[in-house]
Amino acid sequence: DTGVSQDPRHKITKRGQNVTFRCDPISEHNRLYWYRQTLGQGPEFLTYFQNEAQLEKSRLLSDRFSAERPKGSFSTLEIQRTEQGDSAMYLCASSLNRDQPQHFGDGTRLSIL
Amino acid sequence: KQEVTQIPAALSVPEGENLVLNCSFTDSAIYNLQWFRQDPGKGLTSLLLIQSSQREQTSGRLNASLDKSSGRSTLYIAASQPGDSATYLCAALLMMDSSYKLIFGSGTRLLVRP
């Protein structure tokens, strides 16, 4: 399968813990995006990378959130000191360029107890 | 505020019907518009992408149109099948805070009854 893959699929953790998610984009895609989706809503943009450079961060992304794409391939999204409001589906997408479709992974569902 | 709105929020139709899903956006300076399908608990599957210079795109039983001047896009599904049941999301690539971002509607939940 050469699509976007995300790991883990599900994460359950207690409030206050740190969590890290991983995204492996389609191999030739240099753009990588993170989104957050809550029930009944469309995804909301969080941040985006062009190769290893993080070019944009949403105001939704508080200081507890950090994302990296160290070698321009896979990316990680870390949430520190998780809160109940962080419970959501975290989606990763990749694209070749702005003119091409974004392709999404199946997401990581985060549940905060 | 730039918004993308989808109507209806939910739709139930008998198998075989042709149907239209609507999407509207507030900013006519759209770069492109993408339609996605999302099955429960899954990610998004890209269906069609329309560039701002295009008026429509077709793939199989799906046809998407784009009217920038009125801020609307429609997704037409011909001869619907139970396997088409899913949530359909439209997303407009719009300029926000000096860069282009994909702004999503809340989706239309489609149920095709056998």
**What are the residues whose beta carbons fall under 8 Å from the beta carbon of B29, sequence distance 6 or more?**
B94, B95
Which token pair is A113?
């107890």
Indicate the SS3 state at residue B1: coil
Q: Distance (Å, rounded) from C-alpha B36 to C-alpha B88?
A: 6
Which token pair is A74?
């896979």
pLDDT mean over B43-57: 94
Contacts of B102 in chain A (CB under 8 A): 33, 43, 45, 102
Which token pair is B12?
């139930």
Which token pair is A10?
């599900």
How far is C-alpha A97 from the geometric centre of its chain's CA atoms? 18
Mean pLDDT of chain B: 93
With cut-offs at 50, 70 and 90, classify the pLDDT of residue B3.
confident
Contacts of A99 in chain B (CB under 8 A): 32, 51
Is B59 in CB contact (< 8 Å) with chain A?
A: no
Selected for mutation to probe chain B from A9, A31, A37 (highest B CB count within 10 Å) is A37
pLDDT in the model for residue B23 = 97
List per-residue pLDDT tens for chain A, 113 residues long: 579 999 999 999 999 999 999 999 999 999 999 999 999 999 999 999 999 999 888 887 889 999 999 988 999 999 999 999 999 999 999 999 888 999 999 999 999 99
pLDDT tens column, B59-103: 999 999 999 999 999 999 999 999 999 999 999 998 877 788 899
Q: Distance (Å, rounded) from C-alpha B94 to C-alpha A38?
A: 21
